[in-house]
Structure 1
Amino acid sequence: MKKLHILVLLGILAQTATAQSSLLWQVSGNGLKKPSYLFGTYHILKDSYLNQNTKVKTAYANAEGVVVEMVVDSSAMLKMAMRALMLTNSLPDLISETDYNLVAKEFEKATGMDLGLFNQVKPVVTSTMLSLAYLEKESDTLKRFTGQPLDMYFATEGKKLGKTVTPLETMEEQITMLYDHDPVEKQARQLVQMVKEKGSMRRVSQSLTDLYLKEDLSAMWKLSEQYGEQYGDMSYLVDERNHNWMKKLPNVMAIRPTFVAVGALHLPGPNGLIELLRKAGFTVEPL
């Protein structure tokens, strides 16, 4: 399924609506005593990446608070697992036998696991696993980085350093968005489409990774626009969440200088955080 794979990848990647190349933006003005920072993350990129991006490390060090999309709540893990299940359905009942065998073969090849173990898991979970497997295997450039995923690093390290860590969403909100937005029938069709179109998906995976590491935000924005128009409405994943987050971010930044780290598709465009912050009266500049 092209749409879901692109959503997974673009949710991971950073971009901006301008031609300027920067993953990091300074937010100032509008009554802020000290600047805050907005950084577009790549969720599976490991934190040793920061060793080559000293401006991000400096901004993070200067911030007294950290904002991330979500902080993992161990008490919610069981609920998350239960919400992923299809208690009255099964993947073989949602797609044809031919399509099931096609997906099963590809899933085992990509992940090393038997698809049968996931027959009663919502197809969006299987699609996400397959997307990430493609991304990790096709993007050799990522393998040189070690440590924790960037978002987790910013949150856990922030706690160690005594920074105030603020999540923009709860695990429950993210679970609902991922697992329940589309009916399982649609999720299953998207899973089959994704496998059938895996060649183009892998090429997009590599392109987006390369563009992120080059900080070629203009090209990433064009690519996201192309696939966004072609493969469906992503407003519930990006635009709606950005507007919800804007109800929190100005107040958080007014209290203390804050380092905001979010999946980078949230930065660009008319409903991106860069533009929404500017409309709210802040000065937002690339670093």
Structure 2
Amino acid sequence: MPAVRLFALLRARSALTRAAAGALAAIGLVFNLSAFDASAALANDKDAGTCSGRDILADVQAQDPASFTKIMTEAQATANDGAALWRVERDGKPDSYLFGTIHLTDERITELSDAVKSAIGKSRVVALEVADISPVATMQAIGAASDLVLFDNGHRLDQVISSEAFSLVEKKLEEAKLPTAMAHMYKPWVVSMILAVGPCERERVAGGKLVLDMVVSAYAQEKKIPVVGLETLQSQLEAAAAVPMDEQVQILRASLVHASRADDLRETVLRLYLQRKLGAVIPLQLYVAAKSGEVTDNLDGFREALITNRNRTMRTRALPLLAEGGAFIAVGGLHLVGEEGLVKLLRDAGYRVVPVE
């Protein structure tokens, strides 16, 4: 690759990384690829505004009560919903804890509760999804895996979506202060992730606000508790890229339809987290996706790649930490719930997992 092209590519990747910070609660990619340096943010915490958004679920309840009932029925049937902090017990070992996070900066969640602070303070190690998500580490991961992020086999983004949709992609990239010259090279999942971050959350991240996971990390570091990762940035990129291409395209098309409602989606998922009703998130996302007219299936490949498979990986890598006791495991809340969630997987491994709050 010519040096000038490589330099342009790295610049684009760097911008992509910054824009992706804080991405989670939207029509799709429920995982943390935030390239965010906690120490830098703490040193540069500018005054960032409070985000506002409509509660989409309340709108569904008012406008489509049958669908609202279906969403909430599915939510109530979700195993191990109703708590974010869980105590993990085994006879003869110090208690460990499992904490479901949400990858956002809102002060309603980033003010750690006394129970969470106490659990961290009693722990000998804190494990996040990824320990090092600094810009340097993220750039290295993306640089080593460009085939996961960019089309490199003759395919182009503007070949899999309409010209009108691609024009909207370019507009949204420009709004996010990303180079549009390479828009045709981004894989659909990358653009969906960028669209998941609304203007307000983007401003807050740029202003130095920490997502909840990084607040946990900062608190642990303040207490001189080591922080480790259950995954790597490389494995998270691989998980996102493993979503079947047809589902990536469907999610992108739906994301474009709802692009103006990113802050509403953020607020809705945030409220569900505060209410400890994470079981409603996926049914609601599928409802919103279906209403776009662009999604024709249940996105099983998406859920398998980004949630279920990663749950198994997290379980496997958490078990040695839990075996010694005194571990605090903090990962995205959707990884805890359901029959294949971490609460169930750890119980299957012989632990008592008890809700705290």
- TM-score when normalising by structure 1: 0.78
Matches within 5 A, 1:72-221: 72=132, 74=136, 77-81=139-143, 82-83=146-147, 84-87=149-152, 88-109=154-175, 111-113=176-178, 115-133=180-198, 136=201, 147-155=209-217, 157-159=219-221, 161-183=223-245, 187-198=248-259, 203-212=264-273, 214=274, 216-218=275-277, 220-221=278-279
Distance 1:46 1:254, change over 3 A: farther
Shift of 1:173: 1.2
Distance 2:249 2:81 in 1: 39
Q: Which of 265, 272, 285 pairs up with 2:341?
A: 272
Structure 1 spans left out of the alignment, 5+ residues: none
Distance 1:192 1:116, change over 3 A: farther
In the other structure, the counterpart of 1:53 is: 113
In the other structure, the counterpart of 1:232 is: 299
Shift of 1:19: 8.0
Q: Please tell me whether residue 22 in structure 1 is matched to residue 83 in structure 2.
A: yes
Distance 1:199 1:231, change over 3 A: farther
Shift of 1:227: 3.9
- The answer (yes or no) to whether the contact 1:95–1:188 under 8 Å persists in 2 is yes
- The answer (yes or no) to whether the contact 2:119–2:328 under 8 Å persists in 1 is yes
For 2:347, give the aligned amino acid: R
- The answer (yes or no) to whether the contact 2:81–2:338 under 8 Å persists in 1 is no
- The answer (yes or no) to whether the contact 2:80–2:338 under 8 Å persists in 1 is no
In the other structure, the counterpart of 1:40 is: 100
Matched residue count: 271
Distance 1:171 1:257, change over 3 A: same
For 2:167, give the aligned amino acid: N
Bigger Cα displacement from structure 2, 250-259 vs 16-25: 16-25
Distance 1:59 1:265, change over 3 A: same
- The answer (yes or no) to whether the contact 2:170–2:183 under 8 Å persists in 1 is no
Shift of 1:71: 2.2
Structure 2 spans left out of the alignment, 5+ residues: 1-24, 33-74, 288-296
Distance 1:162 1:18, change over 3 A: same
RMSD across aligned positions (CA) = 3.4
- The answer (yes or no) to whether the contact 1:36–1:63 under 8 Å persists in 2 is yes
In the other structure, the counterpart of 2:68 is: none
In the other structure, the counterpart of 2:129 is: 69
Distance 1:208 1:167, change over 3 A: same
Distance 1:275 1:77, change over 3 A: same
Distance 1:135 1:28, change over 3 A: farther
In the other structure, the counterpart of 2:69 is: none
Q: Secondary structure at the match of 1:71?
A: coil
Q: Please tell me whether residue 222 in structure 1 is matched to residue 280 in structure 2.
A: yes
- The answer (yes or no) to whether the contact 1:47–1:149 under 8 Å persists in 2 is no
Bigger Cα displacement from structure 2, 185-194 vs 126-135: 185-194
Shift of 1:270: 0.8
- TM-score when normalising by structure 2: 0.64
- The answer (yes or no) to whether the contact 2:169–2:191 under 8 Å persists in 1 is no
Shift of 1:148: 2.5
Matches within 5 A, 1:246-285: 246-285=315-354
Shift of 1:239: 1.7
Shift of 1:273: 1.0
Shift of 1:27: 0.9
In the other structure, the counterpart of 2:294 is: none
Shift of 1:130: 1.0
Where relative contact order (Cα < 8 A, 6+ residues apart) is larger, the structure is 1
1:203-251 residue CA offsets vs partner (Å, 9 max, x unmatched): 4432111222x3x123x31342454596411022212222232223232
- The answer (yes or no) to whether the contact 1:50–1:57 under 8 Å persists in 2 is no
Distance 2:337 2:226 in 1: 26
1:241-281 residue CA offsets vs partner (Å, 9 max, x unmatched): 22232223232112240110000101111111112222222
Q: Secondary structure at the match of 1:115?
A: coil
Distance 1:123 1:274, change over 3 A: same
Shift of 1:176: 1.0
